[in-house]
Each structure stands twice: as structure tokens, then as C-alpha cells.
Amino acid sequence: MESLYAITTGVLTACGLYLVLRGRTFPVVVGLTLLSYAVNLFLFSMGGLTTDGAAILDGPADYADPLPQALVLTAIVIGFAMTAFVVILAMRARSEAGNDHVDGRKHEDGEGRP
Amino acid sequence: MQHLIVLPVVLPLVAGILLLYRRQGATRAKRLVGVVATAALVVVGFALVARAAGGEVTYYALGDWQPPFGIVLVLDRLSALMVLLTAVLALGAVVFACAGDDERGSNFHGLFQWQLMGINGAFLTGDLFNLFVFFEVLLLASYALLLHGGGKARIQAGVHYVVLNLAGSSLFLIAVGVLYGATGTLNMADMAVRLAELPDERAGLVTAGGLMLLVVFGLKAAILPLYFWLPRAYAAAPAPVAALFAIMTKVGIYAILRVYSLVFGDHAGPLADLEQAWVWWLSLGTLVVAGVGVLAARDLRLLVAYLVLVSVGTLLAGIGMGSPAAVSALLYYLIHTTLITGGLFLLAELIGLQRGKAGTRLVRGRPLHQGGWLAGLFFVGAVAVAGLPPLSGAIGKALMMAAAEGGQRAWLWPILLGTGLCALIALSRAGSTLFWRSQGEPMGLPLPRRQWFGVAWLLGASPLLVALAGPVSDYTRATAEQLANPQVVVNALLNDAGGTP
């Protein structure tokens, strides 16, 4: 389970990073979303992976660390709100600048022309 | 007054909620609430400083859940000083905004209060994840404030600022996750204790987490490779917001100072002073780049934004030197630079308002209507920020240079003085263009008294800091000693069962 989990987190992070580095706002927003998914998974795994464990410390039996779950919940809420905000901001930028490039330039490669 | 410590967070929160009443209109009432809440924050700040000045570290356990399990707000000399500084800066900015900037968009005063809440929370918290939450609170408010009033330049700068900070937040969470996984705690004092007994195989993990945190704080503080968002965003922000943003880079500096002195102090063995070598060289690089930027700026606001970058480089050099004397010097310089750069942002707005179409661009324009007064204030601000005697910048820089030891002098002295020279050249060129190279008839209206108050309040801090240099530097020296001895905080938080609520 560990390796599958690690690979999933890694692939999500890599895809997120790649998309964040794109030049148009839509891929950037999708990239930020993927990145926050990856971070949530990562945070979740930080208490150690347990299956079928209750989220309370109850004797020596198998238990799941409750703190990462609380952290993930907070991170999800913040990440969700931020995604909504970035979407609106990207739309405003699109209507103000007339194109959806993150720098507001018409030509994505920007070579030769201002 | 057992609840005094939580007031800097609760007061702006409540004021912000009150200010949500009606999106438009009720201007007078909203201004009154905003200014009164900020003025109350100044009073609270003074009370906190008076309480912390004795050297005792006190904490406020929210919901009476004792550390290390509950979330705590910790009050020591450093956090009290930062809260007071924020409140003083915010008072100048909010009074300035009351002259009309707050009416260009909706909910200015509410957002302003929430921004204060986030900043104060970040200064007071003793918990790493809580630090993340307060960072998010202050960033969320700053996103909206940066876009206040709208316009193409602001939206463009806003897109960069928001995307970069969101990526930074993801990195922050990863770093916090790694540190939690390796140490099993989020309370900074508890983490410091656990690092001393860290098994060897986890040292690599903690190093990675610690340095990732440095990247995140570096992004907030605008260190060399991560500063590109700053000049554009600060130059585009509305003046009162830009003035408040002068404290935002200092939140990053504070976080570096706090986390690495408390968690990665001498007791951490091989992990001690993890950040120092990085910060030292990057700070010098930041200074050089900022000096070039100051010379190259063709707009007064951009010039001031690069001056913020100069101050970031100078402050980081103090952290890079690491000695208590250097930290004491950097704290003195921090008070000075925050208030002065904030005041200069406000002053740039005033100058821009009176020059008509030329605005703050450094080109020939019409003469200013109230040019004499503005030029006088500009002169005071320029002397202070460039670090010339007799104002506070000179004292800050002298303290900083005196704190450098041995080989550090060879690097710090020429670079710091050279950057000061760059600032001096750029400011004198800007001043002569703005005030002397003018033609035509003066136009523009007399400026409102509230705006004059905002600028004078912040720039007036410089002579005051000179007059009170003795007590202030005594306080910063005591703060630096407290920071150098993290055991005090650890003892106060973990070994003192009960007591404070």
C-alpha cells in the first residue's frame, strides 16, 4: 500500500508542478488544484498509514493518528476557497487583459514582438 | 487581564465582522469603527510590550488545552514588539485610507482588519500549523486588498502574487507535514525538545522539512530568487495597502527568526543553525540586486518597492550573522524600515495625486500645488531610508555593521554601504525630477488633512526612534538575548503546568 500511495502522491505533485509552470491561467489553476490534492494526500500519510484504526488512542490497539486528519480538513477548506478565488481572479484577468496569458501578453512565446 | 494575549487576534476579528454590515454606504460609521479598532490595537500593543518587557514568557492556551497538545499563543518580547509595530503602521495607513481610498471598492475596512488579525496571529502563535493558518488568513485578506479598486495593473500583479503564494502554501504544508512526521508534534517549543533527542535516521527528513520552510518564509520575505513578485505587486497596490504590506515581508523575516532560533537552536545538535549559511549569502545577493533595482526604477512607487527589498536584504544579513548583537541591530532596523517604507508609499501617492497625468513616473511634470511641504517630507523620508545621519536609518545600519565579525565585515560593509549609495543616488535623482524639473502651472487640489496625518505619523517615527534610541535598543538587545536562549520559552510552555488560562 505504501508504494502505491507514494507513487500516487508523487505523480499528482509532478503533474501539478508541470501545469503550474504553463503560460495560460487555466492550466495554472488546474495545476494548483492538483498540487493541493497531492499535499492533502501527503499530509494524511504523515501520521503513518493504518487501515481499520479508530481515530482515537484507545489502549495499545491499532489506532489512526487523528491530528493529520484534522490538518487535512483545514487544508482542504483553505484550498477549496482559494481555488474558487483564483478562478474568479483568472476570469477578471481574462476580461481586463483580453487574453488568458498569465503575463497578459498576446503572444505566448513573446519572441520579437512586445 | 488574562485574556490580553488573545486580544490582538480577537479585536480585529470582531471589528471586521462588524464592518461587514452593508457592502456600500455607512461610510462614516465604518471609518470610525476601523480607526477606533486600530487605535485600540495600538493601546493593546503597548500593554503587551509592557507585560513582556520584564522578560517573562507567558502563553494563552486556547480552550484551556495545555501545551503541547493544545494550540497556544505565546507572548515574549519579540512578538509583543511586532504586534505593536503592526498596530502603529496600520493606524497611519487606515487614517490615510479614510481620506477616500477606502471608497474605491467595497469592504476595505473589514478586509484591513482581517489582514491585521492574520498578521498579529502569525506573530503570536506558538504552533507551526497555526502559523500556516494565520499566514493563509493574512494572505487571503491581502489578495483582496491588493485588488482593491481594480484596474489592469493590479489584476495582472494580483495573478502572479496569488499563484505564487498558493504554490508557497502547498510547500508550507508539505514542510509542516514532514516535520510532524519526523518529530510527532507541531508545537514549536515541543519540537525543539524532541529535536534534541532525534534518532539519527530522521535527521535528513528534518533537514529537508526545515529548509523547505526556509523557502516558504523566503517567498514571503522576498529573498533573492523569490522576490520577483514583490516590486510589481507593491507598486500596483493602493497606497494604504502598500503601506500595510510593508509589514508583510517582515512577517517572513519574523518567521525565519522565530522558527530557526526556537526549533533549530543550539540544542538541536547537528541540525543547529540550519539556515544560517543559506540566509547569509542570499541576503547579500538580495542587497546587490535591490541596489540595481533601486537605480533602475523609473517610477517612485517602484523605487520604494525596491527600497523594501533593500531592507529585506539588510534584515536577512542580520539573521545570517546570527549573533545576539546582530539580531538586536536587525530588530532596531526592522522598526525603522517598516514605518519609513510604509510612510514613503503613502507619500508617493500624495506626490502622484498632485502631479496630474505624470503621476509618480519620474518624468518632467507640472509643479506641485503643495510642493514645499511634500518636498520636506520626501527629504526626511529619503534621508531616513538611505541611512544618512541624523535619522534612524543611520543608527540601524551602524548597529548592524558594528555587529559584523571578522570575515563578515569584508562582505557586509561594502555591500551595505554600496546599496545605501545606490539608494541615495536614486532618491536624489527622483527628488530633483519630481520637485524641480517641472513646467507649466501648478494644478491639483490641496490634500486632505487625513493623508498628511498618515504620512507624518509614519515618517515622524524616524526622529522619534533617534530620540528614543537608548530605550529601544535596550529592548531589542533584551529581545535578542531572549531569542538566543530558547530554553526560557520551552520551560514556560512545557514545564509550567496550569497557571495561565
What was the pLDDT predicted at B501? 41
**Exposed (0-12), middle (13-18) or buried (19+): which is B204, by Cβ within 10 Å?**
exposed
A81 part of contact set with chain B, CB < 8 Å: yes
Residue B70 gets which letter from DSSP?
S
> Measured between CB atoms, which of A38, A46, A96 is closest to B180?
A46
Domain holding A45, by residue range, is: 2-97
The closest of A85, A78, A1 to B134, measured between CA atoms, is: A78
User: Do the domain assignments include residue A77?
Assistant: yes
**What whole-number distance in Å separates Cα of residue B63 and Cα of residue B89?**
31
On whether residue A6 sits in a domain, the answer given is yes
Q: Is the dihedral of CA B386, B387, B391, B392 positive or negative?
A: positive
* Cβ <8 Å between A102 and B155: no
B interface test, pick of A13, A26, A42, A88 with most B CB neighbours within 10 Å: A42
Please tell me the least confidently modeled range out of B65-69, B94-98, B112-116, B391-395.
B65-69
In a domain, residue A105? The reply is: no
- Mean pLDDT (chain A) is 84
pLDDT tens, position by position, B395-440: 999 999 999 988 889 999 999 999 999 999 999 999 999 888 888 8
- For residue B176, the chain A residues in CB contact (below 8 A) are 43, 71
DSSP B73: E
Answer whether B287's CB lies under 8 Å from B268's CB: no
Please write the tens of the pLDDT for every residue from B243-292.
Answer: 999 999 999 999 999 999 999 888 777 788 888 888 999 999 999 999 99
Residue-level pLDDT at B46:
95
Q: Please indicate, yes or no, if residue A91 is contained in any of the structural domains.
A: yes
User: What average pLDDT does the structure give for chain B?
Assistant: 91
In a domain? residue A113: no
The Cα A17–Cα A33 span in angstroms is 10
Residue with cell 559584523: B404
**Distance separating alpha carbons of residues B95 and B453, to the nearest angstrom:** 7
Distance, CA of A71 to CA of B71 (rounded, Å):
13
CB-nearest partner of B177 from A16, A42, A85:
A42
pLDDT band at B218 (very low <50, low <70, confident <90, very high): very high
**Contact, B148 vs B111, CB < 8 A?**
yes
Distance CA B161, CA B220 (A): 10
- Give chain A as a DSSP string: -HHHHHHHHHHHHHHHHHHHTSSBHHHHHHHHHHHHHHHHHHHHHTT---SS-BSS--TTS-B--HHHHHHHHHHHHHHHHHHHHHHHHHHHHHHHHSS-BTT--SSSS--S--
pLDDT of residue B444: 73
Q: Which residue of A has its CA nearest to B155?
A: A93
**Residue B404, CB half-sphere, CA atoms under 13 Å: how many?**
21
pLDDT of A111 higher than 80: no
Check A35 against B170: CB less than 8 A apart.
Answer: yes
Q: Is the pLDDT of residue A36 over 90?
A: yes
Q: Residue A18: inside a domain, yes or no?
A: yes
Q: Is B390 on the interface with A (CB under 8 A)?
A: no
- Whether residues B177 and A96 touch (CB distance < 8 A) is answered with no
User: Span B148-158, mean pLDDT?
Assistant: 87
Length of chain A in terms of residues written: 114
Cis peptide before A114 (omega within 30 of 0): no
Chain pair A-B, CB pairs under 8 angstroms: 82
State residue B141's pLDDT score.
93
| pLDDT tens digits, one per residue of B66-89 | 888 888 999 999 999 999 999 999
Is the peptide bond prior to B390 cis by the omega test (within 30 degrees of 0)? yes
How close is the nearest chain A Cα to the Cα of B486, in Å? 26
Q: What's the confidence (pLDDT) of residue B130?
A: 93
pLDDT of B405 reads: 87
B159 to A36: CB separation less than 8 angstroms, yes or no: no
Residues B207 and B271 sit within 8 Å (Cβ to Cβ): yes
Residue A70 lies inside a defined structural domain of this protein:
yes
Backbone angles phi, psi at B60, to 5 degrees: -125, 115
- Minimal CA–CA distance to B83: which of B126, B43, B36? B43
Which residues fall within 8 angstroms of residue B4, CB to CB, at 6 or more apart?
Answer: B44, B47, B48, B51
Best B166, B180, B205 member to test A by mutation, with max A CBs in 10 Å, is B166
What's the whole-model pTM score? 0.93
Query: Do B382 and B428 meet the contact criterion of CB atoms below 8 Å apart?
Result: yes
Quick check: is A111 in a domain? no
Tell me the three cell numbers of residue B131: 502559523
Structural domain count, chain A: 1
* C-alpha A81 chain-centroid distance: 12
**Residue A58: per-residue pLDDT:** 62
Q: Is the pLDDT of residue B365 over 90?
A: no
